[in-house]
Chain A
């Protein structure tokens, strides 16, 4: 059973460029969340997708956008990259069941470096 997979593993971009990160959830999961983890910090919630719609969003600008496909996979897009966007981007998947605490399973992350 494949867990959460993310691509690419590493990415180097320059300021002002745009980037797309991809995530495939754990088999059977229908909800995908994205997190940004800057060096030496805890993950910060970007947004969550369920039923192909953004259900909740953290404190991130509109430059950060996403999409969920019918097969539950997801993309994170970041426009007009800034140096401060350099971070590890984590994708987590979960199953929408009330009362379970929605345990999230994390992928290995994509390391984005903005020069």
Chain B
């Protein structure tokens, strides 16, 4: 079956760095997405990886290893506004997104 695993919750300190891991198993693979979702709001797109390696976008970076079925989202210089849930989603061979349950990130001052 198809499955996405990511930690339920993580806590980090303002100004620090945090890495949120995601492992996936899908029927075929057309890319790995990371979305940010604040409580009560819809997800917003953060990143898309389809090739192995690290993609950097400002304070956020996303890494993919297709052979390992593994990705991570790296957040640097954490700010209080980064407190949110981070959703990992893999696209299968039918271009359907398979969603993880999300990682709730708590930022402490």
Query: Are A and B interaction partners?
Result: no
